[in-house]
Structure formats: structure tokens, C-alpha cells
Chains A and B, each alone.
Chain A
Amino acid sequence: MTATTTAPPAAPKTSAAPGRPSARLRAWATRAPLLPALIFMIVVTQLPFVATLVISFFDWNSLYPDARHFAGFANYQEVLTDPALRKSVWTTVLLTVGVVLASLVIGLLLALLLDRRFRGRAVVRTLLIAPFLVVPVAAALLWKHVLYNPEYGLLNGLLHYVGGPQPDWISGTPLLAVQASLVWQWTPFMMLILLAGLQSRDQQQLEAARVDGASDWQIFVHITLPHLRRYLELGALLGSIYIVQNFDAVFTLTSGGLGTANLPYTVYQTFYQAHENGLASAAGVLVVIGSIVIATFALRVVSSLFREEVSRA
């Protein structure tokens, strides 16, 4: 019943008899260090969301504050039937799935390469991490102006050497352009998680498999991949959570134009430029519902890795 059952035996001894009041006091003393952080998080993250939920049921344009009135589910209906908003839902899915899958596959290949011993491995690892450590806005600017520019960007400059075509990357394939820049930034993240997974394999088991004559491919399929499954899941889910929310790349590369507006950008635009508070909130709530679906799975994976960790300790 009391905290003493879970507290380690090092709990301080009090001279008071173990009566109810002192036990309750001790439970609160155990809880006290936790409370500031807990209360802070509830106030700053949960309250605004509740407010968003309430606002989403109002027809409310901040340019006409007097016309505000309760609208029931009208905003949701509008979000779900408006072609532009529906398109942004689809764009969000394409952007997230495309970036996560591509960076996961490339990240896995790089992790497998880095898991081997070779000269200068630490240097290569550092080179590969670097893209993740460029400020996202700076990375987006770099891709937009320095790499993608059709006249003097580096990509067309390199194509020029081999006499290739000189495409206008952003106008021609806008979504792919955004995706490529994000894949460049997120591949190192996936690589780091998968590399940690590779290095946590049971070395004795690998050695035993090799002694038994298993080929590299057999080892990869039957030992490495099953072991990596949860790390792949974790990378995919954490990557999804971050990329679903992406704003910087869409904002900088295309300003949401050319069919690249994802939900976060649309929400931003709906209230910041169109001043439609109710509509923006409804769209925000929908983003949350989508995130909860991903998050439920993510939490399950983190929790299984976590419990394994706790039971091992």
C-alpha cells in the first residue's frame, strides 16, 4: 500500500512509529521531487490541447471575433470534405511514409557497412552523422538554393560534367525534392539506432553460427534481422513521430506550394494567415488522432525494449 513496498531498503529511518499519517507523509516525500516536472508538463502541454479541442467546436474567425458561435462538428466536416485539406492529409502520409522507409533502408545499409572493422571507421561515422547536425532550416535552405537551383545548383553542376539533363528539381518534382532533403537529414538517425541494434547482438551466438558454417547471408536473415526487428520498428515509429510534424522543410523549400502542404503547414496557414481558429483547431485535433495511432504502437515498442532492459538489470 505505501511507498515503502517499492522503495529500496535504503529508505531513511524515522523515529516515529509506522502509523498511517507518517506513512502517508513518507509517500508524499517520495513523490515530491516528481511533482514540479509533472505539474509543469500537464499545464504546458495538456491544457492547450484541451483548449484546442474546445475551440474546434466553434466557428471562429479571429478577424470577426463577434461572430463566434458554437458549431458542433461543422469544422470537422469542413476539414474532411475540403479538397485542399484532404489533399494535405494525403501529402502528410506520402511525405512521412516515403521519408521513413527510404531513410530506414539506407540507414540499415550504412549501419551494416559501419558494423565492420575498416580503416577510418570513426571518421566515416562522423561524416555520416553530420547531416543530422545541420539546423533543419539551414539544411532546407542549402537544398533549395545551393543544391536544387536549376541554373547553378550543385546537382545540375555535377550533371553538367556527364552531359546529363538540367532539371528544375523543385518545380518538376516538388514532393520528391522535399522528401530527398529530409531523407538526407534522417538517414543518420536511423543508422545510429540500427547500429546500436547491430552492436547489441549476441557475439557468442554469431560465432557459433559461423563455426557451424552459416553464410553471411544466412546469419543476416536468421539472426540479424529478427534481432533488429524491434530497432527497425523503433526507428520507423520515432521517425514517423518527428516527420509527421515536419514544418521546417515544407515551409522553406516550397512554402507549402506545388501540392506539398502537409497538415502542420496547413494548420499554421489556416490560423496564421486565414485566421480561421475553429478550422485550424479541428485540423490540429485530426493530426493528434493520427499521432495517437502511431504513438500507441511506438509506446508498445519502447515499453518492450524498456522492460527487457529493466529485467536484465
Chain B
Amino acid sequence: MSSTAVRTRGRFRGGAGLGLVAWLAGIVFFLPIAWMALTSFHSETDAATNPPSWGAPLTLDGYREFFGADGGASPWPALINSTVASVTSTLLVLVLALPAAYALSIRPVKRWTDVLFFFLSTKMLPVVAGLLPIYLFAKNAGMLDNIWLLVILYTSMNLPIAVWMMQSFLSEIPVAVIEAAQIDGARLPTVLARVVAPIALPGIAATALICFIFSWNELLFARVLTGVVAETAPVFLTGFITSQGLFLAKVCAASLVISLPVLAAGFAAQDKLVQGLSLGAVK
């Protein structure tokens, strides 16, 4: 008995030390982001010093410049384009993925696992494999620099993830619950709205957030297929550093503003993040 007590105490002390190590690791990983946030509130001259100036006075100049105060290009069209592309494609993904997931879980078609794995395999096809034909098609169809082309491509990029996630969420609903509702005389739409939806809603929300993140982040398609009109926020960011002189504070402000929606969506979906990123393989 006493030996277990000693062991437990030893374990506890080791645990506290390792807790400290974990805190240290967390701080090291977060430091670049914290430094980015701090620098974004510094003046350009204070941002470019060595050794770094931690306690320099704070200013909003970086943000003012990012939003075009000094006659630079306004980021608003790009931010609006990114919002349109991400939100619309996410909605489209949900509209297509929900019925598909239903046919792969609650009332499965024959060989439903094969279908599920077909969706997954498309996710493993690299983007560059189809980039050129898509570019040539867009050029001939007059759809270059058109945000709706990105909406379609982002939908195809996220649809497999959404089908996998929703399939795993929907199959968690006990068949008995659905059967009971049907025995009570409920019709299919009622069953879907009253029984399936409330159980699946948190999963659907997490799926939507993850699709939003991937669309918002995308660079290669946007870079190749858009120009002045349909430019998205990541493309805007790559073309942001054109001016001579110091630009660190401005870049930090820009990076932070453009990352904010993703940080917010990511923390909101934190619990389901793994499941989404591993395409539903890990719960």
C-alpha cells in the first residue's frame, strides 16, 4: 500500500513538472502569433528594431494603412470576395452533402462504403492535376476573374470532407429513434426536421466551419484564376508588399485581420476539428 502511495506522489510531482513543460511549449508555439499581434500595434520604426522593442507605444497606424488610409488599394473588395466565395461554397456543400450523407448512413444505398471511398479518393487528387484544364476552360468560357468559378471549385474541394463528416454524424443517430417516429405516423420530412436535424445540428455546424476555413485559406486556384475583380483575401495579401520602406506593422495588421475569421471559426469548431481534418476517421 505504502509503495503505491509513494508512486502516486512521484507521479504527481512529475506531472506538475511536465505541466510546466507543456505551458512552455504552448508559449513557444504561440509566440510568433503574439509577436505578430503586438507588432501590428507598433509604428513602423518601432516594429523594425533589433533588439525588438517590446514596450513601444501602441498605435493603430498599421491597421489604418491596411484599410487604405494612405491611398493604397482598399482590402474591402478582396475581403468581400473571400466572404462570398467561402460562405456560398459552404452553403452549396451543405445542400449537396446532406442528402448524400443521408443516402450513405440512414438509408444506405448498396455498396455505400465504395461510394464513400470514392469521395475520399477525389480529395487525394492534387489540385495541380486539374488546374490547367480548368484554367483553359475558364479562359474560353469567359469565366476567368469570376468569383463564381471559385465557388464551384471550393465546393468540389470541400464536398468529400463534408460527406465524410456528415456520414459519421448521421450514422450516430440510432435507427430505433427514427423507426419509432415513423411508427408514430410521422412522414419523412417531419422525421428529418424533428428527429434527425436536432441531433445532427452540432455536427453540421462544425462541418460548415471547417469548409469555411479551407475555402477562406485557399491560394492556388484564386491566384491562377482571378485578377482584379474577383481577387480574394489571400491573393490580396501576396500582392500587399509593393511599397518601398518599412512595412512590418502593416503586414502584421493585414495578416491578423485576414486570419481572424479562421481563428474564430477554428476555435468555435475546436471539438470537432480533428474529426473534420481526419475526414471522419478519428472521433
Are the CB atoms of A33 and B102 closer together than 8 Å? yes
Are the CB atoms of B130 and A48 closer together than 8 Å? yes
The segment from A73-81, A171-179, A201-209, A295-303 that touches chain B is A295-303
Minimum distance in angstroms from A119 CB to a CB of chain B: 6
- Chain B residues, CB < 8 A from A291: 124-126
Task: Map CB proximity to A onto B32-75 as digits: 1 under 8 Å, 0 otherwise.
Answer: 11011001000000011111100000000000000000000000
Are the CB atoms of B216 and A37 closer together than 8 Å? no
Given A134-B255, A137-B219, A10 and B130 contact (CB-CB distance below 8 Å): no
Are the CB atoms of B22 and A146 closer together than 8 Å? no
Are the CB atoms of B48 and A7 closer together than 8 Å? no
- Chain B residues, CB < 8 A from A139: 255
Minimum distance in angstroms from B254 CB to a CB of chain A: 8
Residues of A in contact, count (CB < 8 Å): 120
Chain B's closest residue to A10 (CB) is B179
B139-181 at interface with A (beta carbon < 8 Å): 152-153, 155-156, 159-160, 163, 168, 171, 175, 178-179
Are the CB atoms of B122 and A251 closer together than 8 Å? no
Q: Which of A8, A32, A251, A267 contacts B175 (CB 8 A)?
A: A8
Question: Is B188 interfacial (CB-CB < 8 Å)?
Answer: yes
Are the CB atoms of A157 and B281 closer together than 8 Å? no
Question: Is B248 interfacial (CB-CB < 8 Å)?
Answer: yes
Question: Is B132 interfacial (CB-CB < 8 Å)?
Answer: yes
- Chain B residues, CB < 8 A from A272: 224
Q: Which of A34, A123, A158, A188 contacts B115 (CB 8 A)?
A: A34
- Chain A residues, CB < 8 A from B122: 41, 45-46
Given A34-B103, A127-B26, A157 and B50 contact (CB-CB distance below 8 Å): yes
Given A7-B108, A129-B266, A157-B51, A134 and B15 contact (CB-CB distance below 8 Å): no
Question: Is A224 interfacial (CB-CB < 8 Å)?
Answer: no
Question: Is B97 interfacial (CB-CB < 8 Å)?
Answer: yes
Are the CB atoms of A37 and B248 closer together than 8 Å? no
Are the CB atoms of B130 and A52 closer together than 8 Å? yes
Are the CB atoms of A135 and B110 closer together than 8 Å? no
Task: Map CB proximity to A onto B261-280 as digits: 1 under 8 Å, 0 otherwise.
Answer: 01100110010011001111
- Chain B residues, CB < 8 A from A216: 11
Minimum distance in angstroms from A218 CB to a CB of chain B: 14
- What CA separation (Å) do A241 and B110 show in the bound complex? 29
B233-269 at interface with A (beta carbon < 8 Å): 233-234, 237-238, 240-241, 247-248, 251-252, 254-256, 258-259, 262-263, 266-267
Q: Which of B48, B130, B159, B279 has the most CB of A within 10 A?
A: B130
Minimum distance in angstroms from B52 CB to a CB of chain A: 4
Question: Is B21 interfacial (CB-CB < 8 Å)?
Answer: yes
- What CA separation (Å) do A275 and B153 show in the bound complex? 22
- Chain B residues, CB < 8 A from A295: 121, 124
Minimum distance in angstroms from A188 CB to a CB of chain B: 8
Are the CB atoms of A244 and B126 closer together than 8 Å? yes
Q: Which of A8, A157, A234 contacts B107 (CB 8 A)?
A: A8
Are the CB atoms of B238 and A252 closer together than 8 Å? yes
- Chain B residues, CB < 8 A from A268: 128, 131, 220, 224
Chain A's closest residue to B180 (CB) is A10
- What CA separation (Å) do A145 and B281 show in the bound complex? 37
Are the CB atoms of B32 and A234 closer together than 8 Å? no
Given A116-B18, A267-B131, A128 and B29 contact (CB-CB distance below 8 Å): yes
Q: Which of A11, A152, A241, A301 has the most CB of B within 10 A?
A: A152
Minimum distance in angstroms from A10 CB to a CB of chain B: 5
Minimum distance in angstroms from B120 CB to a CB of chain A: 7
Question: Is B30 interfacial (CB-CB < 8 Å)?
Answer: yes
Chain A's closest residue to B11 (CB) is A216
- Chain B residues, CB < 8 A from A309: 168, 283
Minimum distance in angstroms from A45 CB to a CB of chain B: 5
- Chain B residues, CB < 8 A from A197: 282
Question: Is B16 interfacial (CB-CB < 8 Å)?
Answer: yes
- Contacts A6-B109, A138-B255 given; 8 further ones with Cβ under 8 A? A34-B100, A38-B100, A41-B159, A116-B22, A130-B29, A135-B258, A137-B237, A156-B50
